[in-house]
Structure 1
């Protein structure tokens, strides 16, 4: 079984333009793990190169476009360089949109596209997801193929087939769906809910839904960090 290192793992959480007004859930979830030293960062900190002080960065919910545009070309390249050199990235909802390879403001860290972009604002709810064998291993749910998780208009991910990026591992797919606000039914089931990939020497793990807002699933973040820390 993988064991945490004795040294604290320094985690940066982006909390500037584009993030949700209420980030208490993700900060509370991370604060529950004594192995972590968590600090919030602004755009100016990232552009100034402060990511180098950390082992990984978390981009939380909000607006992927808002986060990406706020970072600008300079900030986005700083994040890419950070991961390329062996560090980690966790994206939650908006952070998963941001990590994709599908928008002008994307980080292009994950070889993923977003399906049904026209109906990205498809509503909120609780949905069932099914963990793959890789997902059961990474997220430490060996006996639980299906779980219910909070959904807040996260991306419906699918392989992008982008040259130069390795394919991602599908850790979970959507079984249920949220199809409100005019979104068509039948699109969401089967799309990727949780994806993990490599970028350069680093690792990327993205949650379309919100484990930090789902009682009992907050430890998904801890296991995601553990997987990232195992990068060669």
Structure 2
């Protein structure tokens, strides 16, 4: 898995006693030599992301996820079931399954495609699932998470609801995140397992205010890592940068993309 590092660029500028240099953001006056340190953007440069787009995938969810990972500076591309069956995931670090019916994903991929995804994660890849894509990662289908997704927590339909951030996470560093985010809910459930020993190794990312159950989790599978989210943090409601229009009628100033970048960095850095 690629190592994500923050690069530091150091520029040395010679300045005489009577000279000054204006540097866009900061105006600096000095005598002698001046060292200006510029920190380059921190992101997912060098990380390759495959966003699944085939039968059943909700186009706006796929578009929002593709644009989000490109915003993170990852190399993100769409892949389909046939390509996965033929081994395309060998060229990627993360595979993303957007919102859509998990049973249709299962049928379209077939045994060969499902095994390709499992093997990809077991060998050190990362799985990123949203809504139906998260259910696809549970024991109901792929078994990357040794548990299941519940039914709707807060009634049917779509709405914006607050979720509590696990700022004490022992996985992704969420200590500087807000205590809550307003996130799109769409018949969303939580994740659970009857295996309490296993569940103690699963790290919640967010909790529902209704029942304190995890709506987003991270865990490991073989040498790889897994992120599952039943709610929809991929959408930027009221913004055009996600390339999706479906939920732009909601007034939600929160953006969860920064949170998801921290999760994604943890995924690739923790995979072996």
TM-score of the aligned structures, taking structure 1 as reference length: 0.82
Q: Does 1:73 align with 2:107?
A: no
Counterpart residue number, 2:265: 226
How many Å separate the matches in 2 of 1:132 and 1:113?
Answer: 20
User: How far 1:148 moved relative to its partner?
Assistant: 1.1
User: Equivalent residues in 2 for 1:171-182 (5 A)?
Assistant: 171-176=205-210
Cα deviation 1:55-113 (Å, max 9, x = unaligned): 11111111122212211111111100000001101111111110111x2xx11001221
Aligned match for 1:109, one of 123, 138, 144: 144
Q: Does 1:15 align with 2:37?
A: no
Aligned match for 2:228, one of 202, 206, 216: 206
Distance verdict in 2 for CA 1:222–1:8, change over 3 Å: same
Larger radius of gyration: 2
RMSD between aligned alpha carbons?
A: 2.8
User: Equivalent residues in 2 for 1:189-204 (5 A)?
Assistant: 189-204=211-226
Counterpart residue number, 2:165: 131
How many Å separate the matches in 1 of 2:160 and 2:169?
Answer: 19
Aligned match for 1:97, one of 135, 147, 157: 135
Larger relative contact order (Cα-Cα within 8 Å, sequence gap ≥ 6): 1
Aligned partners of 1:111 and 1:168 also within 8 Å = no
TM-score of the aligned structures, taking structure 2 as reference length: 0.70
Aligned match for 1:46, one of 79, 84, 96: 84
Unaligned stretches of 5+ residues in structure 1? 177-188
What number of residue pairs does the alignment pair up? 215
How many Å separate the matches in 1 of 2:204 and 2:264?
Answer: 17
Aligned partners of 1:127 and 1:151 also within 8 Å = yes
How many Å separate the matches in 1 of 2:216 and 2:198?
Answer: 21
SS at match of 1:138: coil
Unaligned stretches of 5+ residues in structure 2? 7-41, 237-253
Cα deviation 1:109-130 (Å, max 9, x = unaligned): 012212237x998221111111
SS at match of 1:44: helix
Counterpart residue number, 2:193: 159
Which structure dedicates a bigger proportion of its chain to helix?
1
User: How far 1:137 moved relative to its partner?
Assistant: 6.5
Q: Does 1:146 align with 2:180?
A: yes
